[in-house]
Amino acid sequence: MLKEHYENIDDYIADLKSAIAENDQCANHHYNLAQALLSKRDFMGAEECLLNALRNSPRMAEAYVQLGGICLQRGDLDGCLHYNQEAANCRPQYAVAMSNIAFVHLQKGEPDKAIAALNKALNWSPNFIQARNELATAYYMQGNFTGCEEACRAVIKQEPTFAPAWNNLALALFDLERYDEAIEACDKARELGFDVQPGFLEELKPYRK
């Protein structure tokens, strides 16, 4: 986002504001300013810029996604869902928006709705690793531990160092009563920097040799 010829983000922001002052109808300037403000965690300023971008370009799907992210920062799941649905309506086969929709459904404890959204996202973007990991989580929430294992192994095959997939795999294997494999997967997740839940570590202790 920060252009190479800028020494710091504040100079970039100042130039964008100057450009907007000269022409406030450029949606891209408003969007880029929002991105710069988000990097400084100025969520209110970024939100205003994104809304300005949408006033000038009502079908800018990326702006809706970013607004959804701001809602998520506030704990507003319904707002996040709404904005990502708008993004999906603006751009056909927009896998990022559909994955975000699934994430909200997971947070709401609605794995069936999440799986439906994730299957669409993965149909459009088969290598979307975050979406496939969300699919593993959704299967686990359903109690479909075999489905969770398969989804995890697909993630790991694509990206062997993706720690959340190793953690999900450990959980699924534990519930499948394959304890040695669960321990191995858990240890791999920790090795890769994942903060495994202490309660799960305690559950594994009796099965360690």
What is the tens place of the pLDDT at every residue in 159-176?
A: 999 999 999 999 999 999
Residue 4: its pLDDT value, please?
A: 53
pLDDT of 118 above 50 = yes
In a domain, 4, yes or no: yes
Query: 6: pLDDT confidence band, cut at 50, 70 and 90?
Result: low
Identify whether 75 is part of a domain: no
5: pLDDT strictly greater than 80: no
What CATH number is given to the structural domain containing 37? 1.25.40
Among candidate residues 121, 123, 101, the one with its CA nearest the CA of residue 113: 101
Residue 106 resides in a domain: no
**CATH code of the domain containing 171:** 1.25.40.10
Q: How confident is the model at residue 2 (pLDDT cuts 50, 70, 90)?
A: very low
- Residue 74 in any domain: the answer is no
What tens digit of pLDDT does each residue of 68-86 get? 999 999 999 999 999 999 9
Find the domain containing 180 and state its range: 127-209
**Domain for residue 116, yes or no?**
no
Is the residue at 141 inside a domain?
yes
Which percentage of the chain shows pLDDT scores above 90? 89
Establish if 113 belongs to a structural domain: no
Q: Is the pLDDT of residue 1 over 50?
A: no
How many domains is the chain built from?
2
Give the amino acid at 195. D
pLDDT by residue (tens digit) across 12-41?
A: 899 889 999 998 999 999 999 999 999 999
**Whether residue 53 sits in one domain with residue 131:** no
Q: What is the dihedral of CA 163, 164, 166, 172, to 10 degrees?
A: 170
Helix (H/G/I), strand (E/B), else coil: 14: helix
* Residue at 36 is within a domain: yes
